[in-house]
Each structure stands twice: as C-alpha cells, then as structure tokens.
Structure 1
C-alpha cells in the first residue's frame, strides 16, 4: 500500500513547496521505519546467525525512525496550516527540539543501554527509558492535534478534519499495540494516515488536468506564487496559447473528438515547449512557463507553434484547420504580484484575440500601463455604481415639424475622477466586458425617471427621453420585471421612457429582444433602434419588432453628403421606415448643410451638435425652459 502511494504521489504536484517535500519525507521515514522494523525483528530472532553489529545498527535506525514518524506528520501539519514564512520557521524550530533530544538519546544508547540492549545471552532487552520511544510519538501526535485545533478558524473545514484525523488514528493504533504487544500495527497506522493525506491533500487529481494529464491552472498559479514569493528577482516568461474557433471542432466532430484534439494539441506543445512546464490554463488555452530557456529558444518554440497551426489537423476521418493567438508576458522581478502577472497575460490574450496586435501579443510596458488604467477604470465604475454617483448628461433632439425639443437622449458621463475625465468610448466597453453595465443601466434608468419627474413637476413638457441598453442587458432573466419596477417605483409615465439598443444587440439576441420589445409595448414604453446602418441587421428583422423610432447612424449622414447614390439610398430608407409607422431620427448632424440634407430626406427628428451638445441636467432644464418660451 505504501509503495502504491509513493508511486502515485510522484506523479502528482511537482511544486517544490515545503508541504510537498515533507510529504515525500513522511513516505521515506515511514518506509524506513517499516523496513527496519521487519529487519530488526528477523535479526533479533536470528541473532546467533547475524553479525551483532548489523543487528545493533538496524535496530538503532528503527528506534530513530519509528518515533520520528510522529515528527514527520507534525511537520506536515504545520506546513499545511502556516503559510507565513517567519511564523512557519518559528513553529518548526520549536517543534524539532524534542526530536533532536530523542535522537541524541538513541545515539548514546550503545553506551548507556537506556533504551535497549542486544546480546547473545539475553537476546533483545528493553531498557529503563524505552517508554521515551512512545512518549515522543505521542507528544508529536498530540502537538499535531493542538496545532490543528488552535488554528481552527484559519483553515478550511475539510482540511481541518483531515489533519485532526490521522494523528488520532495513530494514537489509537499504538494504544492497541501496547495492549497487544505481539501485534505490530505502527506501519499499518502510518500507511493509513498517509493514504488519508494523499487522497485529500496530495492527490494528483488536485493538481493535474484530468483530460490532458498536464498540470492545471491552479498548479500554475501555485508555481507562479512560489516563484514570485521565494525568488522575486528570478525572471521567467509566461506564454499562453489560445485556440480560436475551437467550438467549431466540437460542433462538427463531436465533443469526444474535440477532447482527442485537445490531447493531441497538448502532446504537441509538450514536444516543443519547456519540459514539465506545460499547463492547461483553461478550456482551450494552454500555458507554457519558461524559467531557464533563453530568448532564442522561446522564439523558436513560438515559431514552431505558429508553423504547426498553419497545417491541417487529422483526427480519424476529420481534417480541419485551426488558428491560435498567443499572449506573452516577461516577469522582470520589479515587484509584480501574482494577480498582476495573471491579469497581464489574460489581457495580452484578450488583445491578441481582438486582432489589434496580431496573432502574437507581447505584454510590454505600454500594455501594462493600459492594463493598470483599465483596473482603475473598473474600480471607479464600481465605486460610482455603489454610490450611484454617475453624472447624467442629456442631448436634446429637435422635432422638424413642430420645431421644439421635447425629446432627448440620456448619456452617462464621468467628467471627473482620480484619473481625470473618462470618456464613454473607454468606460462603456469595459463596463460591458466586466458585466457592470447591467447594474449601471438600472441606475441610469432610475436617474432618468427622476429627471423626467423633475421636469414634469416644473411644467416642462416631455415627449420621451431615450435610455441606451447594452446587449449584455438582454442576458438578464428578470429584465422586464426590473425595468417596470424601476419606472413604477418612480411613478414616471411609461410613455416618457424610450429604450434604445443598437443593431449589434438586435443581431446577437433577436428573439430575446423581440419578446422584450413586445412586453414593453404592452406597458406603453417606447422602443427605438439606435445606430441603424452599421451593418448588423436587415430590414426584415427591423420590421418584425415594434420600434417607435429608428435612428440613422451618423455614418449614413456623412456618406449621403459625399455621394449622391448614398443620399438616394438614405432617403429611400427614411421613406420606408416612415411608411411603416416609425419616426426617423438623423444623428450626428453638425452643420447647416447636413441639417438641410436630412430634412430633405423627410426625417422626423434631428440630433447633433448643430442644435446642442450633451449637457448636465440643470443645463438641460434651462435649455428646455428657454425654448418653451420662444
């Protein structure tokens, strides 16, 4: 049993941590104690045929190792519980003192005969101090229990029960052995204890990926943390290879074939990458950790990967091409934390997928600064969300027929922050990527409702104010209920709210958006399609959704200014939407020439800098009052 544990434990975590080293030490001490126990027993019974010095030597080693099994288990317990280096050293330093004293007692035994004596006339004779052998073992088992119970609050409950179980088991077995001295159970007890530890704390399934049989993401994180904390000046290069469109393999060939491909791809990486340092980073991503290799070897490895991905993969009857992107970060030992290192490599992969940096993206100083700014923007968004301190701006929308400004678009702004103004082009994509946009939109809707109520209380006429919804918003199962709850709780007229979303949202979630639009229409809330003409949807899709307005993207207005054919197309689009009962809004109008052009197209409303820029709520209120008096 001990041999099986030993073999399998060698295939587990290869992290050079104190815990792993002590576990291997436990195995060696236990194996040595069991082996010398058996040999010593045989030699004592055959002392007339075995050289006396050999019997003495083996028995002495047995006396050293057997009680020190308790010390080994105590040290393992301490290494699991204490992670602070200073505290760990202190506990270990105090803990080994009884063991050292006992070892000195064993070394002196050939002269003192206090523990045992072996001679031809009497055979094996126990000494007066033989009880120390058991007391040392008991003491370390008790110490293991005390340390575990003392740190009850700082360790996981599962680990707590495991650490408490094996010393109690060892004590019980030795008590039984004291009652029945002819039965030797110490080896069995130690093996059972090691089995418990291995299955729950050292099992290779904890550190290895079950499919590819390489270390998993957690093992990589543990390795990086160990390298950064133990040798902060040591440099390394981390490379993450991310497969593109791997889902198509599963969809086309089946998941079983997809799994076989991942195994094959991992074997390829293991053949060209750093030996023993290939990790499965996530589902279709693999990490390569270069700790000793030079720049030339790293580049050669990346080139081999790129060259291989240009060739087809053959899996049984299936033949297909796949591409990959690569993110690379070089740890320089300049104080980067584990979290910063992992975030940086993930950001490099993200940028590589975006295509801005090509298939291979090096996370250089500029990208790290960009990542740091992104972190700060995320924190600012979280803080602003918790305090609901977003500033709302409103851009008036001009009605061509009546000449008034009873409509407006709401726009969230962060004009002032610890890092200066943050523009929507920066914070909106980040909010969408992090999912913060969901709660931000609810806060925006609430603020818009309160602003509408404020205008109505002052007698200012309000047609409707547009609120933009992101595609992420439509992933929420309770979206309809949440929207209605916010509007009703503010007692805002339903007709005063118009929800806008873009063509990309419509293309990504056509069925969900359609159902949402119908529910909103039933409750009297208007719906609008924003940025039409950016190339995501078609007329047939738009017709099937009850839009009240369609907003022509500013790119269409500019194209119409440049080419007569574009102008004709935009004019016909405008006419078609109007015939379908929708109002047409032209956005991005900045000059009188553009205004004249879109009015000629027959649009109903115009939005742009020509009439007004986005403005804070107080300025918007004054703007509306001034135009109502005219």
Structure 2
C-alpha cells in the first residue's frame, strides 16, 4: 500500500505554549527520538521542533543498532520497518518502548487495526504544536517511569533489603563472570565465604538487633576490603567475597581474611550493649576445587569450620597448608620484630675502573631462635602484604647508618651503604624527617647513604612521594632504581625521576654472553644511564667472563657472587682486611687459568 503524506501544518500560539508548558520536560531532556518520516518537509519540521530538547536519529534502516526512547513514524515507514520495530519492542519488554504514528486525514481511510499492537499513540494532521509536544512528553515520561520501576524491581530482586549489598543471585552471576574471565586468561580465582554467628543477637534483641548487627558487620567488611573486591550477602549470617582475576593470590586472600577477622572481632554495640562476634571463614579455589559457580560456592561454604572461628579454612588441603604457613610466618615475624631477631648482611660493590670496594648493599636476614635463617623470599612478601615491612626497613636503615658511622671511625674504605625501601616506606608522612634524623644522629653525610627502590614503585608513585625523594636527592642522597629494565623502562618518565643510579637486573646479567636480546637491553640501559649522567650497577655477576664483558660495555659498578656473597659485618671486615682492593679482572682471570 502506498500513501501520499501531506506536510504538517504546525499552528503556533506562543501564549498558549507558555501557558501549557509541561514542567516534566526537564526530566526527559536528552532522550533519544527516532524519526522515520518519508516526507522531507514533515521530517524537517519535526527535527526543528524536537532537536533542542532531544537527541534525534533519522536512519530507521539501522533500528537494530539504535538505542531510542521514542519512535515517531508515518504509514510508509511503518509498513517498511514494522517487523524491526516489533522485534525492538519485544526485546524491551516488559519496559515500554513507545511508537507514535503520524496520520494524515487520507491515512484514516485505511484499516489501522493491524498496527494497534505496535503503535502506542496516534496523532492526526494538522496538529497543534503544543499538543504534539505534550503527547511526546507524555510518552517519554511513561517510558522513563517504566525504566525507573524496572530498575527498582531489579535492585530489589538483586540486593539485600537490610544491608543494601548485592544478594546471592548477583553473587552467582558475578562468580560466573569472574570464572569465565579467569578461564580466558588462565588465572586462579579465590572465593571467600564467611559466616558470623548472630544467634545470640537475635535471641537478645530480635529482628531489629539482628538487622543492626548485619549492617554494622557489612560496613566493617566493606571497609576491610579493596575497591576491586566484591562483597555479597548470601543469607542472614553469611557473606561472600570475590576478587577479580589478575588480583588473586594466596597472600592477598589471606591478607583480606586477616582484615575481615580484625574488623569483625571488634565488639558490636547493640542498644548500648557490647556484643562479641566470631567469624568463620571458608575459601575455595578455581580451578583446583571446582570449575563451575555453584560448586565453587559450595566448596567455600563446606570449608567453613564454625568450631575453629577467626581462622580461614581452605577446601583444598594443599592450600590449607600454605595458608597455615603464611599465618604462622606472620605471627613469628611480628615476634621477630619485637625480639630483634633480624641481622644485617652486606654484599660488596666493586668499582670496575679501580677494582676497589666502594660501597655495600645492606640486606636483612631473619635468624630463628634455633639458629636457622629464613630465606628473604619466604618472609619479605608477607611483610610487605601485612605492612610489617615498614618497621623492618626502618630497623635496617637505622642499623646500616650506625654501622656506617663505625666504619668511618675505623677509616674503612667504604664510601656508601645502600638500603632497600618500598613504596610503603616512602608513603609514611615522616619519611624525609626520619632519614634526616638518622643521618644527623650518626653524623653521616647524605652521600654516604643510598636508597634502592624498585622500578615499579617509581612508575606507580604518587606525586607527593616523588617530591619526598626529590627532597632527599637534593640533600645529596644517592637514589637507585633497583631491577631496572624489568618493568616500565621509558624515556618518557626516566628523565623526571630524582635518581642517581640504575641497577641492571640480574636476569639480564645471567645471559649477557648468550642472549642477543639481553645484550641489546643491557647496552640500551647503559646508553640511557650515560645520556642522563647516571651510574650503572650490574647485580648478579657470577663469572669472570661476565665481569670482563660488562666492564667493556661501560658498566660502572659490579656486584655478585663472583666477588663476594652477602656476609655479616664481622666477615665483611675480615674479607676487606685480606685484600686492600679487589684484583683487576685480568689478574683474577689469569690466576684462575
């Protein structure tokens, strides 16, 4: 069927328009309106009237890809696009997606019954401009009211009424999505389910007290987790916590569990009475424990041991053993700080040009009461995760400066001692004043102390942290980028850093004689250092050939087992007394041959 559509004669009455202006227009401004009008004159008039308040789309052939809130259409377009419109409205159900049909008097002669199911509003021409706008506003208000009700219903269906946290339904959806993402990137997922015994609260204070306790516990749990963690309330006394792939690790999971235990263990005040609550935690692991959502949640729930609260329990026996080792290490680490069980060992750094020991790196060691040493790789990550690293690093700095002061009194030929610091150290408000006070107390010139910071810390540091390091650098301290080349090496940021030294990571030194890539990277680092007038230190030098090659490349300082392993102070002094300087590489090679 074809139809000739007449131009809309819009009758404008400014006074009437002002009187009948709908204050609801402000609430729907910016809505998306699709104009599917064949007659170009009518299309132009509609565009002119609507474009100031709404976003206009005029390509009905792309209906499937357009998100619109109202379609204004005429008979020819309706016949052409009715199937696409019907499909669009069906997909939006139960939310209203209104369609307004513009009719001429001639169109009224046609049977309109086939369009009744599709069209929500008919308007005939000629039409009053104000009346037209009122009908547009009415349809859009109905649309947005339906959306609002839909969103409210969805929120009620997916969130806990008392705490406002996402509920079990959302938890299942989120865990499903998380597992899917983890499977793509081949990463693990830890799911934490914890139960808080609220029976006594309910018996003593009823539903009101129960709700109050649930809100307090939820707020504390939210404050104990990171922004990337997702918290859900499954039942009256059970919650679930999920980390995104890429941020899942046993250490992080245990750290979160400890934070939860600390937060919940604080007594809750209900109607002026203090109530002590216990938290029982179960943890499951994807893919070891299960590979689908329901089973991974069930595994975490089954791992909960209410008879042993305030301790995380893993569904996997292997992970449970790892968790116990982590928890015990943290406990012993706290005792070690109190009982001063740490030692400082020193590894010499040799000047390639002179063959002399010019500096040392101070390295912390932990000696247990039975005399055994704990590997730094076993306790440093836990110290960093628990925040204990700041106390340990400050102890190291104090001891290193006191030792340096003794060496100066003994006229020992060591110009500088290097200590490792982390982002946590630099973020402390008194970091700069702490360094200043230690140097002043021990009468050590700033150039005698070097701070080693990993490359990633510089890249992620806040501007105020870089400013602190800049202050120390201006005082004369040496600042080295540790493990340089393994992370974020870039000219775009290197020249902005307050540094004096680049330490070439041992991973490049290990294969410096065999890997063309590592040779190229090392040469690039040396070129960068020379360009920015920085010193270079090669760490992990283990053979004479490596040392000789690095010297030819122009590296300034060497450090590694080829010269000396880390050793306690007494052994270091004895080692230094045995040799006034380290023999040149050529002599050492000839003696070994």
Normalised by the length of structure 2, the TM-score is 0.52
Q: 1:328 aligns with which of 300, 310, 321?
A: 300
Query: 1:21 is matched with which residue?
Result: 203
CA distance in structure 2 between the partners assigned to 1:601 and 1:301 by the alignment: 52
**Offset of 1:216 from its aligned partner?**
3.7
CA distance in structure 2 between the partners assigned to 1:20 and 1:546 by the alignment: 59
- The 5 Å alignment of 1:214-363 reads 216=218, 245=228, 276=236, 278-279=238-239, 303-304=293-294, 328=300, 330-331=302-303, 337-340=308-311, 343-344=312-313, 363=315
- The 5 Å alignment of 1:395-434 reads 395-417=347-369, 420-434=372-386
CA distance in structure 2 between the partners assigned to 1:510 and 1:23 by the alignment: 47
Query: 2:323 is matched with which residue?
Result: 371
CA distance in structure 1 between the partners assigned to 2:515 and 2:482 by the alignment: 23
Deviations 1:283-341 (A, max 9, x none): 99999x999xxxxxxx99953598xxxxxxxxxxxxxxxxxx998264486x962112x
Query: 1:540 is matched with which residue?
Result: 492
Query: 1:572 is matched with which residue?
Result: 524
Cα pair 1:380 1:417 within 8 Å, conserved: no
Cα pair 1:217 1:280 within 8 Å, conserved: no
- Tell me how many residue pairs correspond in the alignment: 351
Q: 1:438 aligns with which of 380, 387, 390?
A: 390
Task: Give secondary structure in 2 for the equivalent of 1:501.
Answer: strand
* 290 and 450 in structure 1: CA distance in 2 versus 1, 3 angstrom threshold: closer
* 326 and 18 in structure 1: CA distance in 2 versus 1, 3 angstrom threshold: closer
**Offset of 1:478 from its aligned partner?**
1.5
Cα pair 2:502 2:535 within 8 Å, conserved: yes
Cα pair 2:350 2:558 within 8 Å, conserved: yes
More strand as a share of residues: 2
**Offset of 1:417 from its aligned partner?**
4.4
**Offset of 1:390 from its aligned partner?**
1.1
**Offset of 1:21 from its aligned partner?**
3.3
CA distance in structure 2 between the partners assigned to 1:611 and 1:522 by the alignment: 32
CA distance in structure 2 between the partners assigned to 1:615 and 1:14 by the alignment: 49
Cα pair 1:442 1:483 within 8 Å, conserved: no
Query: 1:206 is matched with which residue?
Result: 212
* 204 and 484 in structure 1: CA distance in 2 versus 1, 3 angstrom threshold: same
Query: 1:182 is matched with which residue?
Result: none
Query: 2:552 is matched with which residue?
Result: 600
Cα pair 1:499 1:527 within 8 Å, conserved: yes
* 510 and 501 in structure 1: CA distance in 2 versus 1, 3 angstrom threshold: same
2:399 equivalent to 1:447: yes
Cα pair 1:277 1:290 within 8 Å, conserved: no
Query: 1:584 is matched with which residue?
Result: 536
Task: Give secondary structure in 1 for the equivalent of 2:310.
Answer: helix
2:499 equivalent to 1:499: no
Task: Give secondary structure in 2 for the equivalent of 1:414.
Answer: strand
Cα pair 2:290 2:299 within 8 Å, conserved: no
2:386 equivalent to 1:380: no
Cα pair 1:471 1:504 within 8 Å, conserved: no
Query: Which has the higher mean CA deviation after the structures are superposed, 537-546 or 490-499?
Result: 537-546
CA distance in structure 2 between the partners assigned to 1:534 and 1:300 by the alignment: 35
Cα pair 2:422 2:457 within 8 Å, conserved: yes
Cα pair 1:11 1:204 within 8 Å, conserved: no
**Offset of 1:22 from its aligned partner?**
5.5
Query: 2:34 is matched with which residue?
Result: none
Deviations 1:263-297 (A, max 9, x none): xxx5xx85xxxx6554366999999x999xxxxxx
Instruction: Specify every segment of 5 or more residues in structure 1 that has no aligned partner in the other structure, as ranges.
Output: 1-9, 25-197, 221-241, 248-261, 292-298, 307-324, 345-361
Deviations 1:131-180 (A, max 9, x none): xxxxxxxxxxxxxxxxxxxxxxxxxxxxxxxxxxxxxxxxxxxxxxxxxx
Query: 1:462 is matched with which residue?
Result: 414
Cα pair 1:530 1:550 within 8 Å, conserved: yes
**Offset of 1:475 from its aligned partner?**
2.0
Cα pair 1:502 1:529 within 8 Å, conserved: yes
**Offset of 1:571 from its aligned partner?**
1.7
* 407 and 300 in structure 1: CA distance in 2 versus 1, 3 angstrom threshold: closer
* 619 and 280 in structure 1: CA distance in 2 versus 1, 3 angstrom threshold: same
Deviations 1:178-205 (A, max 9, x none): xxxxxxxxxxxxxxxxxxxx8xxx5344
Deviations 1:551-578 (A, max 9, x none): 0001122343222343133223213312
More helix as a share of residues: 1
Normalised by the length of structure 1, the TM-score is 0.49
* 330 and 429 in structure 1: CA distance in 2 versus 1, 3 angstrom threshold: same
* 532 and 438 in structure 1: CA distance in 2 versus 1, 3 angstrom threshold: same
* 532 and 204 in structure 1: CA distance in 2 versus 1, 3 angstrom threshold: same
CA distance in structure 1 between the partners assigned to 2:302 and 2:403 by the alignment: 50
